[in-house]
Structure 1
Amino acid sequence: MSATDDIDLELRQLTPSVRAAFRLTSERHTLDHLLGEIGLEGATTWQKGENIAASDLQRRTNGWCFELPWQRTYMLDDALSELLRALTPHRDEIVAAARALDLDAHFALETRMYAERAPAAYLSPANVKAIATYGASLDTAVTPSVPERS
C-alpha cells in the first residue's frame, strides 16, 4: 500500500458516520401488526420494557422502526434523503397507521463524529416538507467516536 493509499484510507475513516431512522411509537398499542400492514422490508418492532440493545436501559414505549445502515457522509441531508426515498412507497400506509392509532412519528439522524469532523446540519426544504407530511419530529445526535482501524 502506498503512502497516498494510507492517507486516503485515513481520511475515509475520519469521515463522519450517519445512521438515519424513522420510528413510530406508542405507549398504548403494540405495533407488531405494522410489519405486515406497512410491509417495509427490514422494519423491526419492540415492546415497552425491553432492554435497548445490550444495555440495561429499558424501552419506554412500544415501537416500529425502519433504519438504514451507517454511511460515511459530511451531509446529514444525504442520509435523510436516502431514508425518505426508501419510505416513500409506503408513505400512505405509514401516515394512515399513525393517524388511526394516534402514534408518534420520529425521524432520527445519529452521527458518529471522528477527530472533530462533524457533518453539515443542512436540511433541504424538500426534506423538511417531507418530514412534515409524516407529522414527525426530527432528532439529531452527535457522538464523538474513535475510528475503527482495519
Structure 2
Amino acid sequence: MSEPSDIDSDLRRLTPSVRAVFRLTSERHALERLLTEIELPGATTWQRGESIASSELQRRANGWCFEVPWQRTYMLDGPLAELLAMLAPHRETIVDAIRALELDAHVGLHVRMYGQEVPACFCSPASIKAVAAYQAALEVDIVPSTPPGN
C-alpha cells in the first residue's frame, strides 16, 4: 500500500492544468495599437500570415491576446474568473475597440488533462455574464497530456 504522501504526490501530479486566454482578432486591421490603448502587461499581438509558435501553421487573422498563466486546478471557473478580473478595468476600452473595429472576441480555456483527471467544466453565472459583455465566443480545448516528470 502506498504511503499517504505518495498518494498526495500522485494527485498533485495528475491535477489538470488550465490556462485562460482572451483574444481579439481581425482580418482587416492590424492590432498593435491596442497594446497602448489597453495597457495590460503581457498582452501580445500578431499579424496575419505569421507562424504559430514553432509550427508550420500560419495565423489566419491579425490578433491581440492576453492570458493568465497555467494553473493546476479541477475547476475551469477559477482561471476564467482571474482573467475576467484582470480585463475588467479595461472593459469599456475593449468593448469600444470591438465595436469600432468590428473585432471578433474569443475566450479560450485550454486544459492539459493527465490520465483520466478531467476538470469540472463549470463556469459561474457571473463569469458567463462577463464573457457576454464582450460578446465573446467561449471555447474549451481539452488535450490529453503526459504528467510532468514522466
Per the normalisation by structure 1, the TM-score is 0.95
Number of aligned residues: 149
* Structure 2 gap ranges (5+): none
Matched ranges for 1:9-24 at <5 A: 9-24=9-24
Question: Partner of 1:108 in structure 2?
Answer: 108
Asked whether 1:119 is paired with 2:119, we answer yes
Matched ranges for 1:1-150 at <5 A: 3-149=3-149
* Structure 1 gap ranges (5+): none
How far apart, in 1, do the equivalents of 2:84 and 2:26 lie? 22
SS of equivalent residue, structure 1 residue 130: helix
Query: Percent identical across equivalent pairs?
Result: 62
AA aligned opposite 1:112: R
The alpha carbon displacement at 1:79 in A equals 1.1
How far apart, in 2, do the equivalents of 1:117 and 1:18 lie? 12
AA aligned opposite 2:148: E
The alpha carbon displacement at 1:11 in A equals 1.1
Per the normalisation by structure 2, the TM-score is 0.95
The Cα RMSD (Å) is: 1.3
AA aligned opposite 1:94: I
AA aligned opposite 1:135: Q
SS of equivalent residue, structure 2 residue 121: coil
How far apart, in 2, do the equivalents of 1:134 and 1:100 lie? 13
SS of equivalent residue, structure 1 residue 79: helix
The alpha carbon displacement at 1:7 in A equals 2.7
Query: Which of structure 1's runs of 4+ aligned residues deviate more than 6 A?
Result: none
AA aligned opposite 1:139: E
The alpha carbon displacement at 1:5 in A equals 3.1
